[in-house]
């Protein structure tokens, strides 16, 4: 089969022929139809310091996917051949304290699909049965391919109640955009999104945010007068990983405000802890998806009319992966999808 592989330490990926993966007793084999390019994949392609530490070549990369089940292991009980499935990219041990308590998203031995083990940028991928999310209702393949990052957005957006609240989202990347759509759908009064890319801010406007603010030429405080706010934001979602964004978010929160942080910074961030204490702000770290409560929420939100289609802006055949990765890296896009059919 064809697969996109990090064949050796160093920059670049190669589309090569590799053996099809074999199915273990508790696993399912999926014919991949679409995959989404993630920031993690860009790091692996570029072979930055993180990738050099974390990745062991050769490795089939990729963890965002949708496909049809073609084979199941002898111990599989619920997933069937022919099922359309998206994949949960975090493979958990099932035996640590958190897993046994039902908190699988906090597994201390999590293995990343396409990071620590062969992934989904291939014609076929094998995952444990529990990691295959069966779509029981119609869903567009491009949207199903990005259920993994959509889950990050839902997990972050619903970390705190947003009904009737004023919400600030810093970072209009694909996950920030999807989180904005979720917050509006869940009943937020005002949703403000900040970024320095006018292209991505325009995508935010298409998703119905109340204000998309370019912080290269303005400040978050400008939103107060524009929206008739007086006491700061109730809920913040930091998606950018930029130190200045987190600092400005904390300064812009109301007393008792709550902040969910998903963006990963390149280094340590200095924050005004006195403001956190004096305003009694709650800060929560968010990573991945709650397994599998977030997955239920994603499906229900889509069935309830949530539209995140504007987030997917580009699709390439998998043989055009080099252009697809260049497009994703350039940033004038939303989500970039690879088509593995044909």
Separation of alpha carbons 226 and 221, rounded Å: 9
Which structure tokens are listed for 198? Answer: 């006018």
Q: Report the pLDDT value the prediction gives residue 266, as an integer from 0 to 100.
A: 84
Q: Locate CATH 3.40.50.720 in the chain.
A: 152-285
Q: Report the pLDDT value the prediction gives residue 194, as an integer from 0 to 100.
A: 97
Was 338 annotated as part of a binding site?
no
* Predicted confidence (pLDDT) per residue in 66-113, tens digit: 999 999 999 999 999 999 999 999 999 999 999 999 999 999 999 999
Active site residue 314: no
| Integer CA distances (angstroms), 27 to 2, 33, 239, 269, in order | 21, 18, 33, 41
Helices (H) and strands (E) in the chain, counts: 12, 18
pLDDT band at 5 (very low <50, low <70, confident <90, very high): very high
Was 64 annotated as part of a binding site?
yes
For the segment 141-149, the average pLDDT, to the nearest whole number, is: 98
| pLDDT at residue 342 greater than cutoff 80 | no
152-285 adopts what CATH topology? Answer: Rossmann fold (3.40.50)
2-145+307-339 adopts what CATH topology? Answer: Quinone Oxidoreductase; Chain A, domain 1 (3.90.180)
E runs forming strands in 25-131: 27-36, 59-60, 64-72, 84-87, 90-91, 111-112, 124-128
Please identify which of the residues 7, 35, 43, 314 carries the catalytic annotation. 43
* Predicted confidence (pLDDT) per residue in 108-128, tens digit: 999 999 999 999 999 999 999
Of 93-97, 120-124, 223-227, 276-280, the least confident = 223-227
Q: Report the pLDDT value the prediction gives residue 98, as an integer from 0 to 100.
A: 97
Was 286 annotated as part of a binding site?
yes
Was 262 annotated as part of a binding site?
yes
Q: Locate CATH 3.90.180.10 in the chain.
A: 2-145+307-339
Was 314 annotated as part of a binding site?
no
**What is the pairing mode between strands 59-60 and 132-134?**
unpaired
* 91 and 112 Cβ atoms separated by less than 8 Å: yes
Please identify which of the residues 35, 40, 194, 294 carries the catalytic annotation. 40
Q: Is the whole-model pTM more than 0.75?
A: yes
Active site residue 156: no
* Predicted confidence (pLDDT) per residue in 173-211, tens digit: 999 999 999 999 999 999 999 999 999 999 999 999 999
Q: Report the pLDDT value the prediction gives residue 236, as an integer from 0 to 100.
A: 98
Q: Which three-class secondary structure state does DSSP give residue 210?
A: coil
């Amino acid at each position: 089969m064809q697969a996109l592989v990090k064949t050796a330490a160093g920059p670049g990926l190669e589309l090569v022929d590799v053996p099809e993966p074999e199915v273990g007793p508790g696993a399912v084999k999926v014919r991949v139809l679409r995959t989404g390019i993630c920031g993690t994949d860009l790091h692996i392609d570029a072979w930055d310091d993180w990738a050099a530490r974390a990745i062991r070549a050769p490795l089939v990369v990729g963890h965002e996917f949708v496909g049809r089940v073609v084979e199941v292991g002898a111990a599989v009980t619920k997933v069937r051949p022919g099922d359309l499935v998206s994949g949960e990219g975090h493979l958990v041990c099932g035996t640590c304290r958190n897993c046994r308590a039902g908190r699988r998203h906090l597994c201390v031995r999590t293995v990343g699909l396409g990071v620590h083990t062969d992934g989904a940028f291939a014609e076929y991928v094998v995952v444990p049965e529990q990691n295959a999310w069966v779509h029981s209702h119609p869903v567009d393949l491009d949207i199903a391919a990005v259920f993994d990052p959509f889950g990050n957005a839902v997990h972050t957006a619903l970390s705190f109640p947003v009904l009737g609240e004023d919400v600030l989202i810093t970072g209009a990347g694909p996950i920030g955009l999807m989180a904005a759509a979720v917050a509006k759908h869940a009943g937020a009064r005002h949703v403000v999104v900040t970024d320095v890319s006018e292209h991505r801010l325009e995508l935010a406007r298409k998703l119905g945010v109340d204000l998309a603010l370019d912080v290269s030429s303005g400040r978050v405080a400008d939103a107060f007068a524009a929206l008739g706010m007086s006491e700061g934001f109730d809920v913040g979602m930091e998606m950018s990983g930029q130190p200045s964004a987190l600092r400005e978010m904390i300064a812009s929160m109301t007393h008792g405000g709550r902040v969910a942080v998903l963006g990963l910074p390149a280094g340590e961030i200095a924050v005004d802890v006195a403001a956190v204490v004096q305003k009694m702000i709650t800060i929560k770290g968010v990573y991945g998806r709650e397994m599998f409560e977030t997955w239920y929420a994603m499906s229900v939100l889509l069935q309830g009319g949530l539209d995140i289609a504007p987030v997917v802006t580009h699709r390439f055949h998998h043989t055009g992966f080099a252009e697809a990765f260049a497009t994703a890296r350039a940033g004038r896009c939303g989500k970039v999808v690879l088509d593995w059919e044909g």
